[in-house]
Structure 1
């Protein structure tokens, strides 16, 4: 099927096997264009983590309270992704992506100009709603453009845009914030997102408003899938655990590990490199072994977070552990998104939106809980303690899905053997 004629909200292709052979063909250009969009989205979501001290000092609020800028963004994506996916169901998807980028740019201008912490919270919430709308539609567009055999790989590339933000966007934002003030990165993001609107207009296929023939009711049928809910639970806990620690990584590195504030951006680069590699490699492996990838990633993230708690006093060890945390902690995300789209059947749009909501529900709950521990006896290691417990919970849904898959495979094999014996 031609990329130009692909329908972003078309029913998901039927997958005959849980482990389809991945395609080695080159991914469509639109997948990489959408990855550029998620790069901007990922940068704005995570850049605050590297600017917390500067923002807190300028606005005269505590670091823990300033962390609400991360939490409220996550809440906005929780609400925005499914809500905007439903409200824009019959709009041309190219138009939806362009409008989302326009609101995204406007929100950053408000943050760059604002002096009230409440105004910044409101602007971040608005920006997050636009981000949720963009991400949900971008995931579906990429999945359908690539086809079922390369779905995880395509979503890995789109997700890699956000991971690349940790390698390039977030560290550059942190450096820029230290050199020219924390408002500079938000001006840059506003300008870049405005320019991205033109790129989206030229490259994303126009599906037209009448190509989707379903309804909100038909989309909601996805909620009947028990496997979908297990995937969503895994999305929430894996991201919640990692982001609980990452949101407050700067205080941990400066107060507990003893690194200079100027070195924090370099550690963020290490986390971003790990996350980028994990997203790409996880996406490739996930087309063949999705359940193996999700279980190993969950176990690895929990163990790494525990190690960070125990070994935070050693700077070299902590830096390495944070890089590995990016690899394992976020590497399974494209696989989880692909599984959600598959299990949702004929409602891929809502499934994609719900994964965005689940990821950010975990981020909101994790970062909020982690912020409370900063004033406890745990101090700067508190967020990593919270992250360890939350990440470990990911093993429950991922192991359940793997066992269900194993039982179905075994039952199918026994049925095939019985038929063969009867024919013999």
Structure 2
């Protein structure tokens, strides 16, 4: 695996740590900014909306910039946003800082994932994306607790100063460890990128990713009150449970990365099916500690860990360029926004178990978006079998008619080639 992929993981870790920091610093931020807790919660929403809406525009503006230089520009914007957050004099300034960092974070995801596809061999692209996306998983496992501890002991400003220092470190590592490669396919043409985005099937693929992440975050957004008020865990034990959840995501991401290239659709179908089962089980047994924890860890194994398979499917349907990857990330973020909003409404209507049922329903809908690919794969398999039969028939004809040996051999080769081509396309889907 290229060393640069691990450097990109460090950059993603910095972005995710900043994203999650507000969630761990809510009381301190509310006091320091003279705001209410719901107002601090809006800072999370602002970051997510900025990622979803603004990220693709920054990526489009950088399409003609060599991708290593684009990363460094994004690092500079992200650093400026975190410095603004660390020195914020009031709520409005902090809100602006979160918008800036959200836009930069989304653009970084798009460029970094595109670089992974360029740096790794084609058969290792899914694994390379999994390595880079471990930065996201480690942000959940380590970044959020680290920011929370720093904020509790040194103040919320210190947490953002720490993220700024981590950003500088990641940028320096990028300078030293990421090669200055040429543009990926498309050569930085915004027209070519927009042409790819006109593919209707690509939007269906995007919708699958929205539902994969939406199913998980419908539950994860409210896991703290579910575990304390429904399951009965003490508030002090929740961070330990979240660490275990984070460890499960790292494990699941590694496993998915090994199969994402060849079996993207089957992996997604299995992951969504299992997630629906785990979320429904969590809803049914949320009042019992042991089953609740088991189902929570199950969600960790098959939820956000589908990222490598999602990216592989998107790149196969569209391309590996930064804008396609950034728009894909926007759809992922849209899943977080929609599911957390609907989850809150569901709690008001039916109680704290409702987001778990909502997540299970979204997972089932996600399986439905895979049906066109599954049907296409089935047709491809049928065509492959017919091709094999044709190849065998050509060989038999060639043997039974020596005077037509040349044409029989040609039919044999063509039939075998067609079968192989269809078989390859079938596996790739």
> What TM bracket, shorter-length normalisation?
0.7 to 0.9
C-alpha distance in 1, partners of 2:364/2:285? 19
Range moving further from structure 2, 57-66 or 378-387? 57-66
CA change 1:60–1:298 in 2 (3 A) is farther
Structure 1 residue 60: Cα displacement: 6.0
Aligned to 2:49: 75
TM score, norm. by length of structure 2: 0.85
Matched, 1:390 2:362: yes
Answer yes or no: is the 8 Å Cα contact 1:39–1:164 preserved in 2.
yes
For 1:332, which of 306, 315, 330 is the aligned residue?
306
Structure 1: 5+ residue runs without aligned partners? Answer: 1-26
C-alpha distance in 1, partners of 2:27/2:370? 36
Aligned to 1:198: 172
Note the aligned Cα RMSD (angstroms).
2.5
Answer yes or no: is the 8 Å Cα contact 1:222–1:350 preserved in 2.
no
Matched, 1:364 2:337: yes
CA change 1:393–1:178 in 2 (3 A) is farther
Structure number having the greater helix percentage: 2
Structure 1 residue 349: Cα displacement: 2.6
For 2:224, which of 219, 244, 250 is the aligned residue?
250
Structure 1 residue 134: Cα displacement: 0.9
Structure 1 residue 207: Cα displacement: 3.3
For 1:313, which of 283, 287, 303 is the aligned residue?
287
Aligned to 2:137: 163
For 1:414, which of 386, 389, 405 is the aligned residue?
386
Structure 1 residue 293: Cα displacement: 0.8
Structure 1 residue 211: Cα displacement: 10
C-alpha distance in 2, partners of 1:273/1:412? 41
For 1:322, which of 296, 304, 308 is the aligned residue?
296
Structure 1 residue 53: Cα displacement: 5.1
Q: Which has the higher contact order (CA 8 A, sep 6+)?
A: 1
Matched, 1:107 2:84: no
C-alpha distance in 2, partners of 1:142/1:209? 12
Q: Once the two structures are superposed, what CA deviation does each residue of 1:352-403 show, in whole Å capped at 9, x if it has no partner? A: 11211111111111122223444x1434334334323323221111233223
Structure 1 residue 405: Cα displacement: 1.9
C-alpha distance in 2, partners of 1:126/1:91? 20
Answer yes or no: is the 8 Å Cα contact 1:271–1:326 preserved in 2.
yes
TM score, norm. by length of structure 1: 0.86
Matched, 1:92 2:66: yes
The SS at the match of 2:352 is helix
Aligned to 2:265: 291
Larger Cα Rg: Structure 1 or Structure 2? 2
Structure 1 residue 342: Cα displacement: 1.5
C-alpha distance in 2, partners of 1:181/1:259? 27
Structure 2: 5+ residue runs without aligned partners? Answer: 397-429
Give the paired residue count: 396
